[in-house]
Chain A
Amino acid sequence: MADNRVCITGRLVDAVQLRYSPAGVPIARLLIEHESRQVEAGVERPIRFRVGVRAAGAVLAPEAGDWPPGTAVTVEGFLARARQRDGDSRLIISAERISIAAGDANHRE
């Protein structure tokens, strides 16, 4: 019952806004757009959705703030409720690692 792993690739909808909590922990909330083709019941179909990502702690490299919108990133982490308040069941990905996706045409070193 303790399994909760997600690995997903998507493009940044907006630039990353990095801020710091009062205790000095870096925090960012970002939105990525995923686009792929997946097989469902033997039929290949397009999959497209947006999902929120929360990145807290040393998950994001400091240069993440310079990534332009549209940058393709790979997010690894687990699913969590967006807010801990009752009755709010929206999910987001709490990231443990965010990296530039391999072969991203928009991103040049």
Chain B
Amino acid sequence: MPEPPQIARVAVPGPLPEPLDYRITAAVPEPGARVRVPLGRRQVIGVVVATATHSELPTRRLRPLGELLDDTAVLPGELLDLTLWAAGYYHHPVGEALTSALPVRLRHGYPAQYTRETVWRLTDTGRDTPPDTLAARAPRQAALLARLQSLGSLAAAHFPEAEGDWRGGLQRLVERGLARAEQVDTPGLIEGHDDGGDRPTLNNAQRDAVDAVRGAEGFAPLVVEGVTGSGKTEVYLHAIEAVLAAGRQALVIVPEIGLTPQLVDRFARRLAARIAVLHSGLAAGERLDGWLAARDGVADVIIGTRSAVFTPLARPGLILVDEEHDASLKQQDGFRYSARDLAVVRAQRLGLTVILGSATPSLETLHNMRLGRYRELRLPQRAGGAAMPRFRLLDVRGRPLRDGLSAPLIEQMRAHLDDDGQVLVFLNRRGFAPVLLCHECGWVSECERCDARLTYHRHDRRLHCHHCDHERPVPRACPDCGSVDLRPVGQGTERLAEAIEAAFPDTAMVRIDRDSTRRKGAFERQMAAAQRGEARILLGTQMLAKGHHLPAVTLVAVVDADQGLFSADFRAPERLAQLIIQVAGRAGRAERPGEVAIQTHHPEHPLLQLLVHAGYRRFAEDALLEREAAGLPPYTAMALLRAEAVDEAAPREFLDAARAAGPEGTRLELLGPVPAPMERRAGRVRAQLLVRAPSRRHLQAGLKRWLPGVAALPQARRVRWSIDVDPADML
């Protein structure tokens, strides 16, 4: 008989790269179960990663395992392994990676249980008691009994706030033996059903894509590259229907900005399935409910944002990542994983189909398609016969701009409005003006803690830093020279809204950005007004631009295309091209043709020329050639070692030491250290060291040899440092 395990390897929260060994004193825990363990002087909650018969440390030096929080694994083996793999790939402490994979309630030791609700049912006596017998002395109880007899059960949802003391009444019925109260698990799922609404007829390309998805076997990465408005969602729905018919679950991952009530609604009206929605706005209990429902197979379709990639699946059938190019799919702090890349890895480990969808696939994904790793499914036409929008570059050099709007743009807007069209105006900068300037001495409003200007917000009469949480009232006078003549310089959406109102005083306008939608439900209300066509001019940031179906929009105006043309980040052109195409995609999605007007000071810029005249795919092919020539991803692999500290010299000293510790015999190329593009942020000085290798494999091998030495550097204790593998954002 094999020796029973003596040792539990436990991943504990904290910056420890490996799990710790603990002595098993009583029951043997299952890998994937939570346990309480001593760590220093504290008791923490960890996850058992494995059990073993021997430890490298002498048994007497091991501390004993504490309370077992789960009798069986709370985290299924597949998900545990995926998380451990991800911790290794992203070189992140294993305990923190596991923490990210668990809902917050489980992290805090709460039992793995659904939210429970009391449900009242009839007893046999209750079923046979005519309500009239109670009516004389207890009319409320009589009414409740009658309701129970007709409905079978009652719960809080049946009683509006105002309906008196129904709870007391039901309690009396229980005391009389007419009813009984039961605690019932309520996972809070959305019950979807096919409402029989008319389904759009699939065009040939859509049908080919659906057939390809249905015919896929084993691990099959498929890229649905569909121009905006080509009906990608319709393809998704068909694919999910096939998965549901086979009795399997579908996991759908969307960028934060794309997880809208409309999307969930569209799924719920079409799929006869129980749908769990997972995003950061949920209460801890709701999040746990959805997670458990997915794990137990109670939910059939799981729609979630980035972290949903770590949802346990009882019957996995399909993983789908929509808007796969979106930067928000990469976590930007802590455990810096890419939900898209992990979705592909997970599908591979599970032997599943994974669909990556986008109108503007990332260069990484295009590269994988060219290498034949991903299969391409193109939807080159707009669904329902809608035409692609026409582009027009508006050269604003030397033209007078009225708060950012040129006269030709105002004319074009007027033409569309007169023709009963709807106009979408896009400006990716909120607030009134990005700078407040003293007209007399040239002072500008700068953040005390960042290398950034404070944005002037007219509505609250305050200056906000968009990079840290600093804000303050607008100064009455210039702090340097005392002049009251302070002037806002540049345009944000708030200022543009005023300019549009002045130019079109009789036209209803709605502004959609993070400031105008701060109140609960405001975004939904404003979006509804936009979709119903009550607002004829829609002004907004990318919040408005991405993914929404706005069928009446005929003109999209990009007020300032120049913002992204000259960034230090090698990914900036790709992001700008994707953003322009996404925004442009709002134009002319129904039967009316659309136009896109782009204001720029650089109409001859190759990016704009290529994008406007040849389309995204041509742009992307050129961009890939440039990346290859410059030795940038996806032709090489990259990581970024970042360091920050209040002490100005510390980050640089740490990175210099890290560079000096660069191991011989690896293929790592270390570039830098250099100051971060925004050197000071939230009061900390930041610097970075770029790590490049010929391939991901070389990068992984090199990091594995290099990072333990980096972590052990004495300089490391004086900074906050992190490693970002496959960084999405170089800034």
Contact = CB atoms under 8 A, between A and B. Distances in A.
Interface of A: 21-25, 27, 54, 56-57, 83-85
Contact of A23 (B441, B442, B474): B474
B441 A22 contact: no
Which of B456, B477, B485, B486: most chain A CB closer than 10 A? B485
Contacts of B678: none
A84 B476 contact: no
B476 to A, nearest CB: 4
Nearest to A54: B485
Contact of B461 (A22, A57, A84): A22
Contacts of A54: 485
A25 B461 CA distance: 12
A22 B474 CA distance: 7
B476 A23 contact: yes
B486 A23 contact: yes
B483 A84 contact: yes
B436 interface: yes
Given A22-B458, A22-B461, A22-B474, A27 B484 contact: yes
Interface in B467-491: 473-477, 480-481, 483-488
Contacts of A85: 440-442
A88 to B, nearest CB: 10
Given A22-B458, A23-B477, A23-B486, 18 more contacts: A21-B484, A21-B486, A21-B487, A22-B436, A22-B461, A22-B486, A23-B474, A23-B475, A24-B461, A25-B476, A56-B483, A57-B484, A83-B439, A83-B441, A84-B438, A84-B480, A84-B481, A85-B441
A83 B485 CA distance: 11
Contacts of B458: 22
A89 to B, nearest CB: 14
Which of A27, A84, A85: most chain B CB closer than 10 A? A84
A21 B486 CA distance: 6
A1 B480 CA distance: 23
A27 B438 CA distance: 13
Contacts of A23: 461, 473-477, 484, 486
Contact of A56 (B441, B480, B484, B487): B484
A83 B439 CA distance: 8
9 contacts: A21-B485, A22-B458, A23-B476, A23-B486, A25-B476, A25-B484, A54-B485, A56-B485, A84-B438
A59 B480 CA distance: 23
Contacts of B486: 21-23
Nearest to B445: A22
Interface string B87-100: 00000000000000
Contacts of B476: 21, 23, 25
> What are the nearest 7 A-B pairs in CB distance?
A84-B441, A84-B481, A23-B476, A25-B484, A84-B440, A22-B474, A23-B474
Which of A57, A83, A85: most chain B CB closer than 10 A? A83
A22 B488 contact: yes
Given A21-B486, A23-B476, A56-B485, A83 B461 contact: no
Contacts of B480: 84
Interface of B: 436, 438-442, 456, 458, 461, 473-477, 480-481, 483-488
Contacts of A83: 439-441
Contacts of A22: 436, 456, 458, 461, 474, 486-488
Contacts of B456: 22
B483 to A, nearest CB: 7
Nearest to A88: B440
Which of A23, A24, A54, A56: most chain B CB closer than 10 A? A23
A27 B442 CA distance: 17
B188 to A, nearest CB: 46
A85 B456 CA distance: 24
Contacts of A84: 438, 440-441, 480-481, 483
Contacts of A27: 484-485
A15 B515 CA distance: 37
Nearest to A22: B474
A27 B488 CA distance: 14
A56 B456 CA distance: 21
Nearest to A56: B484
A4 to B, nearest CB: 15
A55 to B, nearest CB: 11
A47 B105 CA distance: 84
A82 B705 CA distance: 64
Contacts of B438: 84
A54 B475 CA distance: 19
Contacts of B483: 56, 84
B462 to A, nearest CB: 10
Contacts of B488: 22
Nearest to A81: B440
A83 B441 CA distance: 6
Contacts of A24: 461
B702 to A, nearest CB: 52
A83 B480 CA distance: 13
A99 B604 CA distance: 55
B256 to A, nearest CB: 32
A23 B474 CA distance: 6
Nearest to B442: A85
A54 B440 CA distance: 12
Contacts of B487: 21-22
Nearest to B456: A22
Which of A22, A23, A83, A84: most chain B CB closer than 10 A? A22
Contacts of B485: 21, 27, 54, 56
A54 B485 CA distance: 10
Contacts of B461: 22-24
A85 B480 CA distance: 12
Which of A21, A27, A56, A85: most chain B CB closer than 10 A? A21
A57 B484 CA distance: 8
Contacts of B473: 23
A83 B488 CA distance: 17
B587 to A, nearest CB: 35
A85 B437 CA distance: 13
Contacts of B475: 23
Nearest to A27: B485
A14 B701 CA distance: 75
A65 B474 CA distance: 26
A14 to B, nearest CB: 18
B464 to A, nearest CB: 13
Nearest to A84: B441
Contacts of B436: 22
A40 to B, nearest CB: 33
Nearest to B458: A22
B385 to A, nearest CB: 50
A24 B474 CA distance: 9
A88 B706 CA distance: 58
